[in-house]
Amino acid sequence: MATTMNPRRKFRPRVQCRVWAPLARLRQCVCGYLVGVGSGYLVVMKVIASDAPPPAYQLAAHGTGVPSQVLYALALQESGTLLRGERIPWPWTLNVAGKAYRYADRAAACSALLQAIQDVGAKRVDAGLGQVNLGWNGHHFAQPCDALDPYRNLKVVTALLFEHKSPGIDWVTAAGRYHRPAGGVPAARFRQAFSRHLNRITRTHFKD
């Protein structure tokens, strides 16, 4: 959910794990995630084994009216990165002033998140698996860094996504509205990318 405003100051991340980092560095990122989250292991590692939504996504979507496949496809597009040729959602992803940063652990991401809010303002910062914008939706978290908790992030993302799903609107359109409520070209591009992920996961289309 990137924004388009101009930053007041340049954000300077201290520690990060970028999409284009060497494989060894990405492996360190995964290890940090397993240690830092514990049971959250399934959020990352299950993705590598199958295109089916990992248990964390199924749990977050259960009883909400949002299919777990839709939630997973959205996370793949919002925070996805490549690991050993597989695309996985990365929980410690930030988007600051339109630029993505990925960190090895929650502590590093939290430090960068707080600095980014100070530097460019909360409305120019998206965080976590679903890239929740902290200016518009930060009130869903007790504190900004809570957006970096995979389960809390998915809970908020599911609620927001459901808000954009109205009668006669399919999940692809709802996902585009989630990413860019104002619509336009950014929303259209997101819908296309989201559809590719969803079709690969489900081999079908959600219309209801």
- pTM score: 0.78
pLDDT score for 50: 52
Tokens representing 80 are 């996805």
Quick one: what percent of the chain has pLDDT higher than 70? Answer: 73
Rounded to whole angstroms, the Cα distance separating 186 from 197 reads: 17
CA 161 to chain CA centroid, Å, is 12
β-pairing, 125-127 with 99-102? unpaired
Rounded to whole angstroms, the Cα distance separating 2 from 101 reads: 12
Per-residue pLDDT tens for 152-173? 999 999 999 999 999 999 999 9
- E-only strand ranges, the chain: 80-83, 86-89, 93-96, 99-102, 125-127, 132-133
pLDDT score for 10: 52
Is the distance from CB of 144 to CB of 138 less than 8 angstroms? yes
CA 133 to chain CA centroid, Å, is 10
Average pLDDT over residues 123-150: 98
CATH of domain 23-200: 1.10.530
Confidence of residue 88 (pLDDT cuts 50, 70, 90): very high
Which residue's structure tokens are 């200016």? 135
Residue 1 has pLDDT above 80, yes or no: no
Taking Cα atoms as reference points, which of 92, 99, 81, 113 lies closest to residue 40?
Answer: 92
Average pLDDT over residues 110-116: 99
Tokens representing 142 are 């007790």
Is the distance from CB of 161 to CB of 134 less than 8 angstroms? no
The C-alpha angle 191, 17, 52, rounded to 5 degrees, equals 45
Rounded to whole angstroms, the Cα distance separating 10 from 74 reads: 28
| Domain parsing of the chain, residue ranges | 23-200
Per-residue pLDDT tens for 4-36? 333 344 555 554 544 333 334 444 444 334 333
Per residue, the 3-state secondary structure of 22-50, as one string, reads CHHHHHHHHHHHHHHHHHHHHHHHHHHHC
Taking Cα atoms as reference points, which of 202, 194, 201 lies closest to residue 75?
Answer: 194
The mean predicted confidence, pLDDT, of the chain is: 82
